[in-house]
C-alpha cells in the first residue's frame, strides 16, 4: 500500500505545557484537512503531564500525530529533532502556547497541496495576554505585483517585509538542504530558523488569510524585557551565529536584502539590551560587539542604520559618532523614558 505524502508537517515544541497544549493541538485537527498534516510534538524534557497528554493524542490520532520524547535541549533542539522525523512537503513551527486560526490553517493546507514555492508567508495575529485583543501583522497590502496563492520569484518580496517565524512555512526540502543546525540550549533561535534557509529560497508565495495566533505578554516569555536582559548572553550567541551564517553564505541580491534585514534587527536589539543594562561592562561589550560587526560584516553594520526606524537610527548614530562615549547618557535617557511610560500606564 502506497502512503500519500503529507502536505504539511507542524513542529510543536512542548516543555511543561500541560495546561495549554490541548488548545494548540486541537486548533489544527480540522476535519477537512487533518489527514493531510502531521503534527510532531517534541517533549523537551517536561516535568509535568505534557508527555502523557502528547501520547494521548498520538494514541487517538496515530496517522497524524507523532511524539518525540527527549532530554531538555531548548527550542532549537525541538526543531532539529522534528525536522529529522518530518515527512511533509512543507514544514511549519507552532509553539505550544500558541494556536492556529481554523479558517486560515485550512486555507494554508489546501493552498499547499499543489504549490511549488520554497517559502510561503502569511499574516498572523499577535494576541495580547492581558486583554485578549488581536492585532494582525504581516499583511502585504496595495501590492499589485503579488497576488495571493500564486508563486513568484523571491525578488517580488517587498524589501520592507519583516520575515518572522509566525509568518513562514518552508518547503521541508529547503530546510534539510541548508545544512545548518539551530543552536540548542538557547533562547531566541526562531531568528536562526528563519534566516538559515534564505540562501536557498528562490520562489515565494503569499497567502492572505491569517494562520498563526502568537500569544504575547506573559511573564515567562523569552521576549519579556527582564528575561531578555537576564539572557542577553544567549541573544548574543544567536547574533553571532547569524553573522557567521551571513559571512559564509552566498546570496542573490534579493536574498541578501532579506538576510540583512533579519540579522540587522537582531543586532539592533542586542545593542539596546546593552543600553538597558547600562553598566560599564555592558558599554565595553557593546563597543566590542558593534566594532566586530563593522570589521567582519560591514554590510550588516551599515544596514543596521539603513533599516532602522527614526528613533533607533538616532540612538545608534549618536553611539557610533561619539565612539560610544555617550553610552551612559543614552542609557539614562532610555531608563527615564521607561519610567515615565510606566507611570503613565499605572
One domain for residues 210 and 239? no
Distance CA 300, CA 130 (A): 36
Q: What share of the chain is helix, strand, coil (3-state, %, to 5)?
A: 50, 15, 35
Q: Which residues contact 228 (CB under 8 A, 6 or more apart)?
A: 222, 235, 269, 273
One domain for residues 156 and 30? yes
One domain for residues 127 and 272? no
pTM above 0.85, yes or no: yes
One domain for residues 163 and 294? no
C-alpha closest to that of 301 among 311, 310, 309, 291 = 291
Mind listing the pLDDT tens digit for each residue in 105-143?
999 999 999 999 999 999 999 999 889 999 999 998 766
- Which residues in the chain show pLDDT less than 70? 1-3, 142-143, 219-225, 334-346
CATH of the domain at 149: 3.90.550.10
**Cell numbers at 186, concatenated:** 538557547
One domain for residues 210 and 229? no
Asked if residue 283 belongs to a domain, the reply is: yes
pLDDT at residue 340, rounded to an integer? 33
Asked if residue 339 belongs to a domain, the reply is: no
Which of 155, 182, 216 corresponds to the end of one domain?
A: 216
One domain for residues 122 and 102? yes
For residue 142, give its domain range. Answer: 8-216
One domain for residues 14 and 38? yes
Asked if residue 141 belongs to a domain, the reply is: yes
Mind listing the pLDDT tens digit for each residue in 235-247?
999 999 999 999 9
Overall number of domains in the chain:
2
- Calculate the average pLDDT of the chain: 92
pLDDT at residue 335, rounded to an integer? 66
Specify the 3-state DSSP secondary structure of 208: coil
Asked if residue 159 belongs to a domain, the reply is: yes
Amino acid at each position: 500500500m502506497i502512503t500519500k505524502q503529507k502536505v504539511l508537517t507542524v513542529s510543536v515544541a512542548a516543555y511543561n505545557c500541560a495546561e495549554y497544549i490541548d488548545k494548540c493541538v486541537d486548533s489544527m485537527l480540522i476535519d477537512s484537512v487533518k489527514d493531510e498534516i502531521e503534527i510532531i510534538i517534541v517533549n523537551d524534557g517536561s516535568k509535568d503531564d505534557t508527555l502523557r497528554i502528547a501520547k494521548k493524542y498520538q494514541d487517538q490520532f496515530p496517522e497524524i500525530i507523532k511524539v518525540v520524547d527527549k532530554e531538555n535541549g531548548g527550542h532549537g533542539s525541538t526543531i532539529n529533532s522534528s525536522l529529522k522525523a518530518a515527512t511533509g512537503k512543507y514544514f511549519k513551527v507552532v509553539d505550544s502556547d500558541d494556536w492556529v486560526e481554523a479558517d486560515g490553517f485550512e486555507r494554508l493546507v489546501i493552498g499547499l497541496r499543489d504549490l511549488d514555492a520554497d517559502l510561503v508567508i502569511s499574516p498572523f495575529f499577535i494576541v495580547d495576554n492581558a486583554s485578549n485583543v488581536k492585532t494582525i501583522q504581516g499583511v502585504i497590502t496595495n501590492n499589485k505585483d503579488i497576488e495571493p496563492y500564486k508563486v513568484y520569484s523571491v525578488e517580488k518580496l517587498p524589501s520592507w517585509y519583516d520575515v518572522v517565524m509566525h509568518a513562514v512555512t518552508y518547503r521541508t526540502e529547503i530546510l534539510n538542504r541548508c545544512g545548518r543546525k539551530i543552536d540548542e540550549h538557547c533562547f531566541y533561535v526562531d531568528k536562526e530558523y528563519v534566516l538559515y534557509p534564505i540562501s536557498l529560497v528562490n520562489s515565494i508565495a503569499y497567502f492572505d488569510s491569517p494562520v498563526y495566533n502568537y500569544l504575547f505578554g506573559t511573564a515567562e516569555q523569552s521576549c519579556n524585557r527582564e528575561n531578555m536582559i537576564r539572557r542577553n548572553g544567549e541573544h548574543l550567541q544567536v547574533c553571532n551565529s547569524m553573522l557567521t551564517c551571513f559571512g559564509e553564505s552566498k546570496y542573490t541580491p534579493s536574498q541578501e536584502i532579506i538576510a540583512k534585514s533579519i540579522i540587522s534587527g537582531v543586532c539592533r536589539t542586542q545593542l539596546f539590551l546593552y543600553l538597558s543594562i547600562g553598566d560599564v561592562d555592558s558599554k565595553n561589550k557593546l563597543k566590542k560587539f558593534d566594532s566586530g560587526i563593522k570589521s567582519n560584516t560591514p554590510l550588516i553594520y551599515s544596514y543596521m542604520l539603513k533599516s532602522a526606524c527614526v528613533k533607533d537610527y538616532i540612538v545608534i548614530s549618536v553611539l557610533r559618532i561619539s565612539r560610544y562615549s555617550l553610552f551612559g547618557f543614552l542609557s539614562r535617557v532610555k531608563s527615564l523614558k521607561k519610567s515615565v511610560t510606566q507611570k503613565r500606564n499605572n
